[in-house]
C-alpha cells in the first residue's frame, strides 16, 4: 500500500508540473525547456528555508513561488521577444545556468552533496496524509489552469499559438501575454518543487537537469497539448509505465535495459500513430 501511495504522490507532483508547462507549450505554442529550473527553485527555497531558518512549509512554498515569479519575470522579458527555435534555445540556456548555480553555489545549496533533513509539515507526517495534501494542490492548480484556458486570456494565448502576427494586427501586445503565462507556469512549477522537497526530505541538483525539463515536455506531448486532462494523463502514463515494466519477466541480468527498450518503443509507436498525443488538440 505504501508503494502505491508513493507512486500517487509522485504522480501528483508531475501532474502539477505538466499542467503548468502545458499552459506555456500547449496553449501558447512556446517550446519551453526550462520548467525544471523553476521546479528546482521551489524545491531549494523550501529546503533552505526549512533546514536553515526552520520556517513553516507553507511559508517556504510561498517564498519559492515568489522567487520563481520574479526570476521568470526577468527571464521572460528576454524570452518573450523570441519565437520558435530561438525561444527554445534561450530557455535551454537558462535551465543550464540555474542547474550550474545549484551545483556550484555550495555555501547555499551544498552543491552535489544536496540538502538533507528537510522537514515535512507535522499534519502530513504520514504518507497517506501527504498524498491528500498533494492531491488538493493538484486539483487547485488544475482548475486554475482550466479557468485560464477557457477565459479571454486563454483565447488570446491560443491565437498567439496559431498566428501571432495576425493577432498583433488587432492591437494585442503579444509579448505581454507570453510573459504572463511564462510567469504563471513557473510559479506552478515552484509549488511542485516545494511538495517534492518536503516529501523526499532530500534534494540535490541532479533532479533539476535539462533532462528533467525534456521529460516534462514528453509528459505533455504524450498526454496531449492544449488539454489539461491530457497533461494529467501523460504524467500518469510516464510515472506508472516504468513501474509496470518492473513486473514483466525479463531475465535479471538485462531486466533494466529491456525495460528501457520497451519503454522507448512504446513512446515511439505512440508518437507515430498518435502524434497529437492521447488527448491533444494541437501538434508542435
At residue 28, does pLDDT exceed 90?
A: yes
pLDDT value at residue 273: 78
Model confidence over 151-162: pLDDT tens digits? 999 999 999 998
Kindly report which listed range (65-69, 123-127, 174-178, 277-281) carries the lowest average pLDDT score: 277-281
176-194 CB burial, b ≥16 within 10 A, e <16: ebbbbbbbbbbbbbbbbbb
Angstrom distance (rounded) from CA 191 to CA 13: 9
Residue 155, SS3? helix
Model confidence over 123-135: pLDDT tens digits? 888 999 999 999 9
Contact status, residue 16 vs residue 188, Cβ threshold 8 Å = yes
Average pLDDT, the chain: 90
pLDDT value at residue 252: 64
At residue 150, does pLDDT exceed 80?
A: yes
Amino acid at each position: 500500500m505504501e508503494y502505491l501511495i508513493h507512486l500517487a504522490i509522485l504522480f501528483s507532483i508531475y501532474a502539477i508540473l505538466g499542467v503548468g508547462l502545458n499552459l506555456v507549450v500547449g496553449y501558447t505554442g512556446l517550446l519551453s525547456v526550462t520548467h525544471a529550473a523553476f521546479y528546482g527553485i521551489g524545491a531549494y527555497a523550501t529546503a533552505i528555508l526549512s533546514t536553515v531558518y526552520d520556517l513553516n512549509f507553507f511559508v517556504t512554498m510561498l517564498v519559492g513561488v515568489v522567487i520563481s515569479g520574479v526570476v521568470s519575470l526577468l527571464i521572460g522579458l528576454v524570452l518573450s521577444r523570441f519565437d520558435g527555435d530561438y525561444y527554445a534555445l534561450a530557455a535551454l540556456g537558462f535551465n543550464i545556468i540555474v542547474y550550474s548555480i545549484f551545483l556550484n553555489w555550495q555555501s547555499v545549496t551544498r552543491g552535489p552533496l544536496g540538502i538533507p533533513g528537510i522537514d515535512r509539515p507535522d499534519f502530513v507526517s504520514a504518507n497517506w496524509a501527504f498524498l491528500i495534501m498533494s492531491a488538493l494542490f493538484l486539483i487547485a492548480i488544475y482548475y486554475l489552469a482550466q479557468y485560464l484556458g477557457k477565459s479571454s486570456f486563454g483565447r488570446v494565448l491560443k491565437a498567439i499559438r496559431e498566428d501571432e502576427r495576425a493577432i498583433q494586427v488587432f492591437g494585442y501586445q503579444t509579448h505581454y501575454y507570453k510573459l504572463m503565462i511564462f510567469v504563471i507556469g513557473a510559479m506552478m512549477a515552484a509549488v511542485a518543487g516545494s511538495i517534492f522537497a518536503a516529501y523526499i526530505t532530500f534534494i540535490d541538483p541532479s533532479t533539476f537537469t535539462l533532462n528533467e525539463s525534456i521529460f516534462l515536455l514528453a509528459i505533455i506531448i504524450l498526454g496531449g497539448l492544449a488539454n489539461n486532462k491530457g497533461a494529467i494523463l501523460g504524467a500518469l502514463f510516464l510515472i506508472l509505465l516504468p513501474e509496470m515494466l518492473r513486473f514483466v519477466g525479463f531475465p535479471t541480468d538485462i531486466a533494466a535495459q529491456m525495460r528501457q527498450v520497451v519503454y522507448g518503443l512504446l513512446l515511439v509507436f505512440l508518437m507515430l500513430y498518435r502524434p497529437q498525443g492521447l488527448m491533444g488538440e494541437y501538434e508542435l
